Amino acid sequence: MAEVVCENLLKVFGKKAIAVDNVSFKVKDGEFLTLLGPSGCGKTTILRLVAGLETPDSGNIFIDGKLVNDISPSKRDIAMVFQSYALYPHMNVFKNIGIPLKIRKLNKDKITEKVHSAVNLLGISDLLQRMPKELSGGQRQRVALGRAIVREPKVFLLDEPLSNLDALLREKTRGELKELFSRIGGTVVYVTHDQVEAMTMSDRVAVINQGKIQQIGTPLEIYNSPKNIFVANFVGSPRMNLISGKVEGEWFRAGKFSLKLPDTVVRKFTSPQDSSNSKKITIGIRPEDIYIDNSDSSCYPAIVNLVEPLGAQTLIFVKLEDISIRLISKSGVKVGEKINIRFDLDKMHFFDTQTSEMMDI
């Protein structure tokens, strides 16, 4: 396996469409890095730059310490798995998996050995004689992976390989992929818009928006300490509650809603060393950090607007003064019911509304 280093990558389509904007990151040898972001954010373009399918307008790409900007895709020693699987319809599973080895002119015995090793690893050894049209979506995905594995590349590049699978199969395959690459020790760059895939499979996640990396870190770092409002809003399901307002003395106010701020936040806006003139902030708190607490009169009164059962828990939408809040609870409540809610202030996040960056508190 090998390390992948991208330095200051820029890719512009046409005259003004900046797809990748000064992106830099490193994927360690044997690491699983996921590029996570919404459609059109530039994550697939970054993958294609690493693969050599696109050429950067500026910046450098290194694979295993070697500059590969001017090296063709076939000579970069990478294997790419596409969303569409791209299987040859006229070839059976054995031939589809073995085609890269045939192109390399390996002898038949070696091809057979490597193909059987890959299909045993993927649990599809009984499918070798089937044609692609006779396979399910999950089986086709495994065949595409098998074709990548037999090449024994330095780097695996996966472009949303699970997006065509149904929810149940996608969940099953996520675990299988994580276990597979852990076993073979592959260096993986994985592209997805699905945050569940990113959080469950990755060693690290790079959150991307508008061609820029917003934050890069472990899944828990991204979730627990989002760097800005975009990351806070994009990562997490259900998504974080974000309330914009202003600081007035010891209080945060948003319309009719008021919240007494922790001393550390208050000092941020009263300290003479603080050069910030703005008192506009956005507070963020995740639904699981808000609790129904009808025993405490100091909690906030709210009215239930919508209830969405999720199985073991329920997603509850409430009206609090003139703002809407989402919370998760095991309590059985009904639409129209009056409840009291409590915020876990230790789990609350504070962002500068103007810059959208997390405040240093």
Q: Grade residue 145 by pLDDT with cuts at 50, 70 and 90.
A: confident
- Exposure b/e, 44-69, CB count within 10 A at least 16 = b: bbbbbbbbbebebeebebbbbeeebe
Which of 208, 234, 260 terminates a domain? The answer is 234
| 361 within some domain | no
Average pLDDT value over all residues in the chain: 90
Which of 166, 201, 234 terminates a domain? The answer is 234
Q: Is 122 helix (H, G, I), strand (E, B) or coil?
A: helix
| 360 within some domain | no
Q: Are residues 127 and 11 in the same domain?
A: yes
- Residue position matching structure tokens 């504070």: 350
CA distance 308 to 287: 13
Give the CATH number, domain containing residue 157: 3.40.50.300
Confirm if 118 and 166 have CB atoms less than 8 A apart.
no
Q: Are residues 77 and 218 in the same domain?
A: yes
**CA nearest to 234, candidates 73, 356, 333:** 356
| 301 within some domain | yes
CA distance 77 to 155: 7
| 118 within some domain | yes
Fill in the DSSP letter of residue 56: -
pLDDT at residue 231 tops 80: yes
Confirm if 39 and 183 have CB atoms less than 8 A apart.
no
pLDDT at residue 274 tops 60: no
CA distance 118 to 274: 59
Which strand (E) or helix (H) includes residue 268?
helix 263-270
| 159 within some domain | yes
Indicate whether this model's pTM tops 0.95: no
Give the CATH number, domain containing residue 318: 2.40.50.140
* Per-residue pLDDT tens digits for 80-90: 888 777 889 99
Between 260 and 166, the higher pLDDT residue: 260
Q: What is the mean pLDDT of residues 10-14?
A: 93
Q: Are residues 66 and 127 in the same domain?
A: yes
Q: Is 130 helix (H, G, I), strand (E, B) or coil?
A: coil
117, two tokens = 């090793």
Q: Are residues 91 and 137 in the same domain?
A: yes
Instruction: Count how many domains the chain has.
Output: 2
Q: Are residues 250 and 213 in the same domain?
A: no
Q: Are residues 149 and 205 in the same domain?
A: yes
Between 183 and 240, the higher pLDDT residue: 240
| 46 within some domain | yes
Note down the domain range covering 150.
4-234
* Per-residue pLDDT tens digits for 320-342: 988 999 999 987 889 999 999 99
Q: Are residues 256 and 193 in the same domain?
A: no
Which of 234, 257, 283 terminates a domain? The answer is 234
